Amino acid sequence: MVKVAICGGSGYTGAELLRMLRLHPKVEITAVTSEKSAGKRVTDLFPHLVGYEHLVYEQLDRAELVAKADLFFLALPHAASQEAVDFFYRKNKKVIDLSADFRLASPETYEEWYKTPHHYTETLKRAVYGLPELYRKQIRKARLIANPGCYPTSAILALAPALKKGLIDPETLVVDSKSGTSGAGRKADLSIAFCEVNEGFKAYGIAAHRHTPEIEQEISKLAGKEIALNFTPHLVPMDRGILTTAYGRLTARIDAETVLKIYRKAYGDEPFVHVLENGVLPNTKFVRGSNHCMVGVKVNPRTNTLIMVAAIDNLVKGASGQAIQNMNIMLGFEETTGIQHLGMYP
């Protein structure tokens, strides 16, 4: 049994780690931290986590924690995560960071978008971007994983095969994403109060959302040149799920079936990415609670545009599920261990 600690376990991603690791046969949770809820039991905050009655939140005392676990999940706010990641990494622990702090290879880009400097640029160089579909080999050998953001996971999985094959002009990309409200985190905030969100739909952070440079970093690698794209997130009145609708001008005439073949080849052996049949489009409801990602495409011959659609659960494939997937790869476990469960429908 590998000993695992969760730093920042009182938010939704922390709770999701606990929910899923409960059924993981090779992992034991030895500590969970929360500054605000230290001293409380996990089940005081989350009565649904039946079986965790004896696990009590503690302060994030790094010196004390380091001896308790071999692998650390960090679900801390960005900026706050930097120091803790660096600390555990230097103590030769395996670290999976769910914050944004180690996702951007360029410390300058990080500072530009997150308005705070990066203090651990040496450790940053060791970080592997934890998208298994692109970086499985590197993850296998890594000790520090920067777990991807929720929007980037959906956008990159939607775009990757088309960009890699040069099907679309990367200068024309529009990424229009829609997320459930859990993406905003678990907090007392008027803007996510039930009556403010329910029965409403809005865009936010247009051309300014911090996931933009993360998507651009990966897209640029795939396209082989520096790409800036249009990214617009929207808030959906539902708990979970991200649907990303991406548009790119086709570089040549092609039909949907041919595009789908390329996608199927790209994702053929992937346990969690599923290319839908021609005419079928993803729905976030198909992946709710699961680590699966569904991708569909459509060609608009009238505008010569490829429309790519991907659906994930933002808290699972977009956060905690992918983190466990990365853990499985790092530790040499079967990649699907503990995250094989299917989506909940309805």
Catalytic residue ranges: 150
In whole angstroms, how large is the CA radius of gyration of the chain? 20
The answer to whether residue 224 forms part of the interface with a second copy (CB under 8 A) is: no
Which residues inside 63-82 make contact with a second copy, applying CB under 8 A?
none
| Residues making up the chain, counted from first to last | 346
Rounded CA gap, 338 and 332, in Å? 14
Rounded CA gap, 130 and 322, in Å? 8
Site string for a second copy, 188-217 (x = CB under 8 A): xxx-xxxxxxxxxxxxx-xx----------
The answer to whether the peptide bond before residue 346 is cis (omega within 30 degrees of 0) is yes
Query: How far is CA 151 from its chain centroid?
Result: 7
Span from 27-35, 87-95, 139-147, 338-346 in contact with a second copy (CB under 8 A): 338-346
Which residues inside 150-179 make contact with a second copy, applying CB under 8 A?
172, 174, 176, 178
Site string for a second copy, 15-34 (x = CB under 8 A): x---x--xx-----------
Structure tokens at 316: 């699972």
Nearer to a second copy, 64 or 112 (CB): 112
Query: Is the CB of residue 134 less than 8 Å from the CB of residue 214?
Result: no
Q: How many residues bind a second copy (CB under 8 A)?
A: 83
Which residues inside 266-295 make contact with a second copy, applying CB under 8 A?
274, 276, 280-290, 292, 294
Exposure letters 57-73 (e unless 16+ CB within 10 A, then b): bbebeeeebbeebbbbb
Which residues inside 293-322 make contact with a second copy, applying CB under 8 A?
294, 298-300, 302-303, 305, 307, 309, 311
What is the CB neighbour count within 10 angstroms for residue 44?
12
The answer to whether residue 337 forms part of the interface with a second copy (CB under 8 A) is: no
Q: How far is the CB of 173 from a second copy (least distance, A)?
A: 8
Closest of 117, 20, 8, 124 to residue 336, by C-alpha: 20
The answer to whether residue 251 forms part of the interface with a second copy (CB under 8 A) is: no
Q: How far is the CB of 332 from a second copy (least distance, A)?
A: 22
Closest of 1, 17, 3 to residue 324, by C-alpha: 17
Q: How far is the CB of 196 from a second copy (least distance, A)?
A: 7
The answer to whether residue 110 forms part of the interface with a second copy (CB under 8 A) is: no
The answer to whether residue 241 forms part of the interface with a second copy (CB under 8 A) is: yes
